[in-house]
Amino acid sequence: MITPIEKYNSIYVKRDDLFIFKNVCGGKVRSALALCKDAKGLVTAGSRYSPQVKIIAEIANDMKIPFHAHIPFGSLTEETQFAIDKGALLFPCKPGFNNAIIGRAKKDAINTGYTYIPFGMECFESIQQTADQVVDIPNGVKRIVVPIGSGMSFLGIAQGLLKLKSTTPLIGIQVGANPISRFNKFNIQYEKYTIIKSSVEYSTKIRAFIDDIELDPIYEAKFLEFLQPGDLLWIVGKR
């Protein structure tokens, strides 16, 4: 399914939030479904605010298999409560640095034989799932603007633009940690990109809309100020 590109006044919008599975939506869901095939159980690591834990919980519940989520220690959030309601087992880690929860999740997957879903879905499959969506870019698009959490959607778009031999500027609004090391790891040679760091804290939620589309409060809602006429806002998803 290729999700549509719509136009609202002078802004184009890539509606990857219209890829829907049960109670979750977005490009990350598409990637997760590809990664979860034939699993007998699932393990991942994620922020307490990340949609990844919520997405994998929904998929595991539908597959009727166990799911272990390794998260930073702290109070329940909407995302972690959703996972619990879907039958997930949460394993809080203190201190909850990314390398700590990732290490624990990988060890858990080895011990249980469950399928490990990479933190931020950091893998080539995730990149390719997004790259396949880079089609039918309207001629009027001057820049593509996308949120950067793990950065995998950003890399997927860059890969898709390379395949099209496009030179459309790609603007990433960094909401989470600095993604440069991850970019270097996958060695995607798209040179027409810029990263802008959001001044808003990752965990701060903002309510924002484009026309009647409510944007994700952690990611897309934080960069309306950066949009310019002719931009294509790539909506990765919405929790």
Mean pLDDT score, 90-106: 93
Cα torsion for 34, 36, 38, 39, to the nearest 10°?
Answer: 170
pLDDT top residue among 113 and 178: 113
Range(s) within the chain of domains with CATH label 3.40.50.1100: 5-20+123-235, 27-121
Which CATH code fits 5-20+123-235? Answer: 3.40.50.1100
What pTM, to 2 d.p., does this model score? 0.90
Q: ∠ CA(165), CA(170), CA(176), 5° rounding?
A: 135
CA 155 to centroid of chain Cα atoms? 11
The domain defined by 27-121 folds into Rossmann fold (3.40.50)
Convert the pLDDT of each residue in 33-83 to its tens digit.
999 999 999 999 999 998 999 999 999 999 999 999 999 999 999 999 999
Phi, psi of 43 (to 5 degrees): -135, 135
Q: Please state whether the peptide bond connecting residue 66 to the residue before it is cis, i.e. omega within 30 degrees of 0.
A: no
Region 99-106: mean pLDDT is 96
- Tokens 């810029």 map to which residue? 194
**187 band by pLDDT with thresholds 50, 70 and 90:** confident
Residue 235 has pLDDT above 90, yes or no: yes
| Burial class, 88, CB count within 10 angstroms (exposed 0-12 / middle 13-18 / buried 19+) | buried
Give me the mean pLDDT over the 194-221 stretch.
93
- The mean of the pLDDT values for the chain is 94
Q: In the predicted model, is pLDDT for residue 223 greater than 90?
A: no
Residue whose token pair is 């006044």:
9
Residue 63, token pair as written in the block: 């597959």
Q: Report whether pLDDT(177) > 80.
A: no
